[in-house]
Amino acid sequence: MNVSLVYNNKKLIGKCSKFAIEKVQGTSPFVMLENFETKQPQLNENQQIVLEFLKGIAVKTDSAPIVTFADFGWQHFGSALPSTVEQAYQSMNGKQDLVIMSAYVNWALEQEEE
């Protein structure tokens, strides 16, 4: 199977088995990807040990073994938290909470690379 590397702003973000550039009248061109896999960070031995431990806990307990925003609580932001953000957060479920954490971590790591 042929594999194509996928870049965003000159940064490798993953790979796919097939891609096509599409153009819909009135829009900018966009790329269609098949079997996209995000680039997994290379973990050192200590990171891999901790990751495997956390995965084991998650499988056994069917929950995240780390502190999520729900566990941390928004009270730490005090009155600085806009009501729209608080309402949006309260409408999210646990999985959405983890997706937000992942997006934040990815963003923070990108900031360190710049």
The answer, yes or no, to whether residue 29 has pLDDT greater than 70, is yes
Query: What is the residue type of 113?
Result: E
What integer pLDDT is reported at residue 65 of this predicted model? 57
Listed in sequence order, the residues at least 6 apart from 34 whose beta carbon sits closer than 8 Å to its beta carbon are 16, 17, 18, 19
The reported pLDDT for the residue numbered 58 is 67
Quick one: pLDDT at residue 19? 87
d(CA 107, CA 70): 20
- Report the pLDDT value the prediction gives residue 8, as an integer from 0 to 100: 82
- Residue 32 shares a structural domain with residue 50: no
Considering the domain architecture, whether residues 14 and 33 belong to the same structural domain is answered as: yes
Same domain, 24 and 49: no
Whether 49 and 104 map to the same domain: the answer is yes
Residue 113, classed as helix, strand or coil, is helix
Token pair of 72 as six digits = 């941390």
- 83 and 106 housed in the same domain: yes
| Domain boundaries, position 94 | 45-113
Regarding whether 68 and 50 lie in a shared domain, the answer is yes
- Across the range 90-110, mean pLDDT stands at 77
DSSP-derived secondary structure letter, 8: E
> What pLDDT is stored for residue 109 in this prediction?
76
Q: Which residue has the higher pLDDT, 22 or 75?
A: 22
Query: What would the pLDDT profile of 48-92 be if each residue is shown by its tens digit?
Result: 777 777 777 766 666 665 655 555 555 556 666 677 877 787 787
Report residue 102 CA to chain centroid gap: 4
| pLDDT of res. 3 | 85
Rounded Cα distance between 85 and 68, Å, is 16
**Residue 64 CA neighbour count, 13 Å, CB half:** 15
**Does one domain contain both 10 and 34?**
yes
